[in-house]
Amino acid sequence: MLQTIRSLKPERLWNHFSDLNEVPRPSKREDRVTAFMKNFGENLGLSTHVDHIGNVLIQKPATQGMGHKTPIILQSHLDMVHQKNANVNFDFETEGIKMKIDGDWVKAEGTTLGADNGIGVATIMAILESKNIIHPAIDALFTIDEETGMTGAKELKGGLLKGKILLNLDTEDDDELTIGCAGGVDVTGKGTYTQIFLHGEHQCFKLSVTGLTGGHSGMEIHKGLGNANKIMNRVLNDLNHEIDIKVNSIDGGGLRNAIPRESFCLLAIPTDQVKTFKNIVSSLRTIFKIEYNTTDPNLDIQPIQIEKFDSIIAPEDLDKIINVIYSCPSGIYRMSRDIPGLVQTSNNLARVLVKNSTFELMCLTRSAIDSEKKDLSNVIRAVFALIGASVTFKGEYPGWTPKPGAKIVKIMEDIYTLKFNSTIKVAACHAGLECGIIGTNYPEMEMVSFGPNIRGAHSPDEKVQISSVQKFWDYLLEVLKQIPDLSEVK
């Protein structure tokens, strides 16, 4: 099947994507993919530089007759989100992504695909390698750690890039130009609890919430997708009010930028209350399947009996933990009043880990308005303060302020209209893009983000549309031909 993917059009793009997907490239561990890109640039005989943090810059001169055009930056990030279904046996550290074709889509087998942002990287590679594509001088910038902190963009030094127009290839709708995005901050709440021994006659269970859709916590936060951490907590809250549950641990979600799909809890039930426990779980399963029938039709909640464990969370601490998870905001906080349909501020309760006398809740708070991002972060901090837990803020990055009047935006709108006989949307998005960060060192640079149709990013359902990749490629090649003269971009 890999060879079939390699034969898709445009072939060089898909071949580079296939090569890239053979290289493990989790966020914060990009050494292998950085070396891969460095070798790629050097083997082409192009000026190749790896900066102090691991970003790769490959520079290619303008093709004949394009030297008077404005130099550009083609930019994508090297890292990918590593997520897999619980029943999939896959090692992201050693294995290449296993891809398959499903109609007009390329998918992975039970894992994230890496189209975000591997398709962008592969596109730039194909242009760098080409000997017949018309283009101005190119700075090809490949950043690291976009998905978990945007460290690469934050550490990028001023004066390194010569381009005056940045084309970021990290948007997931082929009929949209993105010209602005939200900023974000990682919010983490931590605390401790008392462990006690489990006494009396109990049956122990592993309670699982699985089958949720998951997805990108920025681009898909408006869809009302189920959050496994919040659903698990609702189950535990109801059980805790009806019967005498004893909880050993809770483990749900994963990366901050992914809406959590699964959560697991080890708990003990008094033997004489097991039937009631199962009835409550069954009833809640029915309720949740009705609530989430549209967004998460495969949602499931199951108790599986396991071997008995010895330690549990002290009841008074369990109450606090359930209450703080219940109170932690997750989802849309405020919609934009200026741009219809745009989420302005949100929070994703991405990770819940309660184990070995400590609990940790990990969130990603996003907003297009820095003051509102701070406000929501403070709401979360106040929730944790009520139970004496600590909160830290890390990895903050700014939003990207739209410049709808930029010359490159008008050029790309006109090209799209003529080429596809329709109007392209020009909008801001709620996801975090690196443009705003890069712009802090290059404030005069014109920036646009665009890309092919990608669905289910940050989840094992991630897929990229084959026909859309061809459309995106054709569009990009025309844009490269029509980059304005250097004198026209101030």
Count of alpha carbons within 13 angstroms of residue 13, beta-carbon side: 22
Q: Give the pLDDT of residue 146.
A: 93
* CATH code of residue 206: 3.30.70.360
Just list the catalytic residues.
79, 146
**Residue 481: partners with Cβ closer than 8 Å, 6 or more residues away:** 134, 135
> Which residue, chain included where needed, has tokens 């700075």?
139
Read off the tokens for 21: 């997907």
CB-neighbour burial class of residue 293 (10 A; exposed 0-12, middle 13-18, buried 19+): exposed
Of the pLDDT bands very low, low, confident and very high (cuts 50, 70, 90), residue 127 is very high
| Residue 341 and residue 380 in one domain | yes
pTM listed for this prediction: 0.79
Q: What mean pLDDT comes out for the span 123-142?
A: 98
Domain termination site, one of 395, 412, 440: 395
149-160 pLDDT tens trace: 899 999 999 999
| Residue 472 and residue 336 in one domain | no
| Nearest to 351, CA basis, from 187, 490, 141 | 187
327-384 pLDDT tens trace: 999 999 999 887 888 999 999 999 999 999 999 999 999 998 999 999 999 999 999 9
User: Based on the structure, what is the number of domains in the chain?
Assistant: 2
Amino acid (one-letter) located at 366: R
| Nearest to 457, CA basis, from 117, 75, 150, 167 | 117
Q: What angle do CA 171, 177, 178 make, to 5 degrees?
A: 65
Q: At 376, is the secondary structure helix, strand, or coil? A: helix
Q: What mean pLDDT comes out for the span 281-300?
A: 98
1 has pLDDT over 60: no
For residue 4, the tally of other CB atoms under 10 A from its CB is 12
Q: At 337, is the secondary structure helix, strand, or coil? A: coil
CB 126 within 8 A of CB 12: yes
224-247 pLDDT tens trace: 999 999 999 999 999 999 999 999
2 has pLDDT over 60: no
402-451 pLDDT tens trace: 888 899 999 999 999 999 999 999 999 998 899 999 999 999 999 999 99
| Residue 241 and residue 334 in one domain | yes
Report CA 250 to chain centroid distance, whole Å. 23
Measured distance CA(476)–CA(84) in Å, rounded? 32
Amino acid (one-letter) located at 160: L
CB 143 within 8 A of CB 78: yes
| Residue 247 and residue 365 in one domain | yes
| Residue 381 and residue 438 in one domain | no
* CATH code of residue 61: 3.40.630.10
Phi-psi region of 151 (alpha: psi -120 to 50; beta: other; left: phi over 0): alpha
Domain termination site, one of 395, 412, 437: 395
CB 92 within 8 A of CB 111: yes
CB-neighbour burial class of residue 418 (10 A; exposed 0-12, middle 13-18, buried 19+): exposed
Measured distance CA(363)–CA(424) in Å, rounded? 33
| Residue 250 and residue 146 in one domain | no
| Residue 339 and residue 440 in one domain | no
**Range of the structural domain that residue 220 is part of:** 186-395
42-65 pLDDT tens trace: 999 999 999 999 999 999 999 999
DSSP 111: B
CB 236 within 8 A of CB 245: yes
Measured distance CA(322)–CA(335) in Å, rounded? 28
Read off the tokens for 124: 């730039």
| Residue 12 and residue 101 in one domain | yes
Q: Give the pLDDT of residue 271.
A: 97
Report the percent of the chain where pLDDT is more than 90: 90
Q: Give the pLDDT of residue 432.
A: 86
DSSP 314: -
Average pLDDT of the chain is 95
| Residue 370 and residue 409 in one domain | no
| Residue 94 and residue 19 in one domain | yes
Phi-psi region of 440 (alpha: psi -120 to 50; beta: other; left: phi over 0): alpha
| Residue 216 and residue 365 in one domain | yes
Q: What angle do CA 396, 399, 405 make, to 5 degrees?
A: 165
| Nearest to 442, CA basis, from 159, 210, 243 | 159
Q: Give the pLDDT of residue 87.
A: 87
DSSP 226: -
CB-neighbour burial class of residue 93 (10 A; exposed 0-12, middle 13-18, buried 19+): exposed
Measured distance CA(464)–CA(107) in Å, rounded? 7
Measured distance CA(255)–CA(363) in Å, rounded? 9
CB-neighbour burial class of residue 96 (10 A; exposed 0-12, middle 13-18, buried 19+): middle
Read off the tokens for 340: 């219809």
Q: What is the largest CA-CA distance in the chain?
A: 84
Domain termination site, one of 362, 395, 428: 395
301 has pLDDT over 80: yes
| Residue 319 and residue 416 in one domain | no
Q: Give the pLDDT of residue 364.
A: 96
